[in-house]
Amino acid sequence: DCSEVADRLASGVTAIYSTKGAFAAVKEGGEVLTWGRDDDGSDRSGVADRLAAGVTAVYSTGMAFAAVKEGGEVVTWGDPDDGGDCSGVADRLAAGVTAIYSNDTAFVVVKGIGEVVTWGAPAYGGD
């Protein structure tokens, strides 16, 4: 149900991304809006302030999102076991990320210096 954000989706949306049960819309200026099942990534309350502006792209696993901000910072939310919790590598995701890849339960990024950083389900390529 997108009723909580419907009025803000009426204009300015530049891209929409999805997990298996939630959507994330990026608006002009880089604000991210979400809706759908909380467990599948629609609950961004813990990082909402960091998603208010400057997001350039969003990537997803089955139940989590990862947003890249200007400057290469990565912000994650959603199911912790599916990549929604990057706290173990957060210091390495603070800047310089140039590419993100994902599967159903893990994320991997490449930084400008060629460093690779992973998080999510260990059995599927995460940390």
pLDDT in tens, 26-45: 999 999 999 999 989 999 99
Predicted confidence at residue 82, as pLDDT, reads 96
Predicted confidence at residue 127, as pLDDT, reads 81
The token pair that represents 81 in the structure block: 């076991």
Predicted confidence at residue 1, as pLDDT, reads 77
pLDDT in tens, 54-113: 999 999 999 999 999 999 999 999 999 999 999 999 999 999 999 999 999 999 999 999
Q: In what order do the strands lie in the sheet with 106-111?
A: 97-102, 106-111, 116-120
Measured between alpha carbons, how far is 127 from 120 in angstroms, rounded to an integer?
6
